[in-house]
Amino acid sequence: MQITKEEFKKELEQKLDSQFAVDVEHASLGELYSALSNVLRDGYAPNWRETRIKEAHEGKKQVYYFSIEFLPGTLLRSNLLNLGWMDTVKSALKDLGLNLDDIAAKEPDMALGNGGLGRLAAAFMDSLASTGYVGNGNGIRYKYGLFKQKFVNGYQVELPNDWLQKHNHWEVMRDNKSVLVHFGGQVNLVQKDNWMTPEYNGGYSIKAVPYDIPVVGYHTGIVNTMRLWDAEIPESEEINYPTIDDRRKVEDLTSILYPDDSSYSGRLLRLKQEYFFVSAGLQSILRYYTKDLKQNDMHNLPKYVAVHINDTHPAMAVAELMRLLVDEYHIDWDEAWKITVQVMSYTNHTIMAEAMEKWDINMMTQLLPRIMQIITEIDRRYVISLTGKVAESVINDTRIVNNGNVQMAHLAIIGSHSVNGVAPLHTHLLETEVLKEFYELYPERFNNKTNGITLRRWLQIANPKLSKLLDQTVGRDWRTDSAKMLLLQDSYKNAKVLKQINEIKLENKEKLAKFIKKTTGITVDPTAIFDVQIKRLHAYKRQTLKLLHIIKLYHDLKNGIDHPKRVVIFGAKAAPSYTYAKDVIKVINEVANVINNDASIHGKLKVIFLENYDVTLAEKIIPAADVSEQISTTTKEASGTSNMKLMANGALTVATMDGANVDIAKAVGQDNIFIFGLNKDQVYDYYNKHDYKPRDMYNSDQVMKETVDALIDGSFSKAANEGRVLYDSFLQENEEFLVLADFESYLQAQKKIEENWHDQRSWAQKALVNIAHSEEFNADNTVARYAKDIWGLKKLN
């Protein structure tokens, strides 16, 4: 539905009046946000309803993306853009003396995810709707999102992120679509009507209530649904929870998102969360299949439904679908298994061993007795099917139940027809190292699907100026057909375009500089190199290597060795229980303090660690970046996606040949990226031979020694203890992240960056090539590949 400026103004006034009894002039920004989002809701509501009717009518296959994390950020501007209202509304607001950005800033950031994995899930939602596919999200409506990060004396402090406090304006609660999820008790199998039927004794049910969030497609008229589940006490069981405390215990199931994307804490609650949203999701899918689509043959389920297991957290979907098919719909085990494997597909997002989920059998038996029985049976049949055919060791390594644990990745792989990694190198490592034995058993299941980003959010919304330049140079079509962005290369020698690229970058940097001033009090020079590392704080991502480079630059400047002006900008949250990562934050903050206050270096180097990195902050930083730091230990970063967002905004990447950096290097060519560091074979050589001796390197390299010693020689005395922790970690024999091994070559890469910086025209040319080729990482194309190769979807008419 389109809207004129005048219609919009009238609608806005009406909403302000009916909701708050104020007029535009007297409305607060919060009230304006609320009214504006309501006008938008009216705008897309008909499309949302029609999409559902069409879905049921056309009966096309749908994908359900099961993910324990979704990280959409804010939705106001994205809904405006996708609905085609952005320009009209911006200009109408301007007429009224208002600014869209100020109003949009009132929306809480929907941070129901930790990092790349959750952000990817949200990007896929947007891309599915924007390319015409029916794709549904299935997740958890956490009451508290990822913690709010503050720095106190340089330390990270975590505060609750009560994002729902001010109401989520997009969600619609659909109480009538609630389902019950059962936990605990005992299960006996009894013969009933010729069927082994489970008889449940004891235990309890929790009511899963869906909150639907619309996913508005970009100019497609399609509005898909992201369904997030909340936990309530079923009316019939209220009597069992007489006190507020009792109630809270149940409702706590969906209270918190686990703030850790690499290891697991609060295990029992986490397991409950996993089963809760998986069971609720599958029950509602089958209800839709039977009631709305009026299908009664479960054998046809794979023609209508694809369920995607995003990392192992929803892997129980395999067992839960078996339970539903066998127990509730009386499908033969073998038939049910065929259906299940055809329906399920799985993405692995990391090779980090600590993220490989396993659940204790006893815990699982107590909490989910029927699921444990089913998993045991799947495992038993798996072992039988391979006995005598492959080595016993292979069976033991790959079976689902072993060493007292249920291996969730094994369940996901065995129960899915497709297993994919998220960049070619990552998929290759899955096939040859991490999941080698599975690859040999099921080579046809493995495939690669390189990650992508939504250019709508990261260019159109976050960088309107660069978007306009693209409009002027390649035409507006790039907004729907990103391949057109490649035409930008025709302007490689166009002095005017190159100048504009630099001007736009400078304007974005000025804006960020203002934000930095406002939030940290520190003045930064927008003409300096803005050198950006934004991602979760983790040893493998090596914010530590950046830190060593900063110290080296500082020493140089103090010793009269000149460098171009540079502002290093970090954004990163550390998992609350990850002490090493928190130590890194403290050290960076104290190093920053010393450097930022040292008048002797004349402001040539500034180090800014911005608090509370989230999608909203990313939208401010990314358009202003000159340099993108992608410096993980080769083999450790499955893909990375900030690398893609930064290149799309014209930042030049300094990178190891890890994750999707490899593909970025291929796309832009060696001249337009700064590659350094050990390659995968060298890394594995160290790991296999156990002969990495950083202390020898340190002793024989004076620059390295001076740089590392600064951590313990009193230079940064406020982080003496944490500095010692880092120092010791770097020098430890066979240190896993090979920080010092890459130090020298990282310095070389940085030197090259400085040399290139002096030639602003050629810098702009490199930026231009990066912007043009970022289209290869358009999530719209990524989902098209999933849709075709894995899910078998057809577009809605």
What would the two tokens of residue 265 be?
Answer: 């804490």
Q: How far apart are CA 98 and CA 167, in angstroms?
A: 23
Q: How far apart are CA 238 and CA 244, in angstroms?
A: 11
Residue 540 C-beta: closest distance to ligand CR1, Å: 8
638 or 768: whose CB is closer to ligand CR1?
A: 638
Which active-site residues does the annotation give?
A: 349, 535-536, 541, 641, 645
Cα atoms in the Cβ-side hemisphere of radius 13 Å centred on 53? 7
What would the two tokens of residue 388 be?
Answer: 């005598």
Q: Considering just the CA atoms, what is the radius of gyration of the chain in Å?
A: 27
229 or 540: whose CB is closer to ligand CR1?
A: 540
Residue 639 C-beta: closest distance to ligand CR1, Å: 4
Long-range own/partner contacts, residues 781-786 (CB < 8 A, 24 or more apart): 781/452, 781/482, 782/124, 782/127, 782/449, 782/450, 782/451, 782/452, 783/124, 783/127, 783/128, 783/131, 783/133, 783/135, 783/452, 784/131, 785/449, 786/63, 786/124, 786/308, 786/449
DSSP string, 636-670: T-S--SHHHHHHHTTPEEEE-S-TTHHHHHHHH-G
Q: What's the distance, Cα to Cα, between the start and end of the chain in Å?
A: 18
Name the packing angle between helices 116-131 and 76-83 (round to 10°).
Answer: 20
The H-assigned helical ranges of 188-260 are: 244-251
Which residue in 424, 234, 402, 410 sits closest to 312, CA to CA? 410
| Burial label, 518 (beta-carbon count in 10 A; 0-12, 13-18, 19+) | exposed
Strand partners, 256: 144
Q: How far apart are CA 349 and CA 114, in angstroms?
A: 13
Pairing of strands 204-216, 172-173: antiparallel
**762 three-class SS:** helix
355 or 395: whose CB is closer to ligand CR1?
A: 355
143 or 538: whose CB is closer to ligand CR1?
A: 538
115 or 137: whose CB is closer to ligand CR1?
A: 115
Residue 349 C-beta: closest distance to ligand CR1, Å: 3
395 or 434: whose CB is closer to ligand CR1?
A: 434
Q: How far apart are CA 698 and CA 41, in angstroms?
A: 61
Q: How far apart are CA 738 and CA 683, in angstroms?
A: 8
612 or 782: whose CB is closer to ligand CR1?
A: 782
Which residue in 408, 421, 778 sits closest to 635, CA to CA? 421
CB 681 within 8 A of CB 718: no
Residue 633 C-beta: closest distance to ligand CR1, Å: 12
355 or 529: whose CB is closer to ligand CR1?
A: 355
Q: Angle 544-546-549 (CA atoms, 0-180°, nearest 5)?
A: 115
Pairing of strands 405-407, 358-360: antiparallel
Report which DSSP code applies to 108.
Answer: P
The torsion angles phi and psi of 659, rounded to 5 degrees, stand at: 50, -140
Rounded to 10 degrees, what is the CA torsion of 116, 121, 127, 132? 170
Residue 717 C-beta: closest distance to ligand CR1, Å: 34
457 or 606: whose CB is closer to ligand CR1?
A: 457
411 or 711: whose CB is closer to ligand CR1?
A: 411
Residue 156 C-beta: closest distance to ligand CR1, Å: 19
Q: How far apart are CA 511 and CA 361, in angstroms?
A: 54
83 or 351: whose CB is closer to ligand CR1?
A: 351
Q: How far apart are CA 730 and CA 241, in angstroms?
A: 53
Beta strands in 135-185, from DSSP E residues, in sequence order: 135-140, 145-152, 155-161, 172-173, 179-183
Residue 627 C-beta: closest distance to ligand CR1, Å: 19
Q: How far apart are CA 37 and CA 15, in angstroms?
A: 10
Which residue in 537, 500, 511 sits closest to 619, CA to CA? 511
Footprint on this chain of ligand CR1 (rule: CB under 6 A): 115-117, 120, 261, 311, 349-350, 355, 422, 451, 637-641, 659
The 10 Å Cβ neighbour count of residue 489 is 14
Q: Which residue is nearest to ligand CR1 (CB)?
A: 116
116 or 526: whose CB is closer to ligand CR1?
A: 116
348 or 589: whose CB is closer to ligand CR1?
A: 348
Q: How far apart are CA 474 and CA 480, in angstroms?
A: 12
Residue 672 C-beta: closest distance to ligand CR1, Å: 22
DSSP string, 211-224: EEEEEE-TTS--EE
Strand order in the sheet with 358-360: 358-360, 405-407, 401-402
Q: How far apart are CA 1 and CA 4, in angstroms?
A: 10
CB 437 within 8 A of CB 398: yes
